[in-house]
Amino acid sequence: MYLKKKEVADLLRVTVRTVTSYMQHGVIPNPRRVGKILLWDQVELQRSLDFYSKIKPSAPAAKGRGRPRKILSS
């Protein structure tokens, strides 16, 4: 079964932009292109995610939300 980008995002509980970032960083395999549609093989995607989760420990929790504020100097 093949999944579209939105379906992959829903499966991973992330945004579509995050799926694009995962592609660029090699976290998920590159999709197959059919015309303008990107499709991922569900079995291959799951295998890749299982492998990545075994070799890379989960990231520590972030200290704060968003970017730090700029400090204006006078």
Contact 8, 45 (CB under 8 A): yes
Does any domain span residue 10? yes
Helix axes 5-12, 42-55, angle to 10 degrees: 40
The count of domains in the chain is 1
Does any domain span residue 70? no
pLDDT of residue 40: 94
pLDDT of residue 10: 92
pLDDT of residue 34: 93
pLDDT of residue 7: 94
Query: Block means of pLDDT (10 residues each) for the chain, length 74 residues?
Result: 93 91 88 94 88 64 63 61
Does any domain span residue 26? yes
For 26: left if phi > 0, alpha if psi spans -120 to 50, otherwise beta; the answer is left
Contact 45, 19 (CB under 8 A): no
pLDDT of residue 50: 81
DSSP state, residue 57: P
- Whether the full predicted model's pTM is greater than 0.75, yes or no, is no
CATH of residue 24's domain is 1.10.1660.10
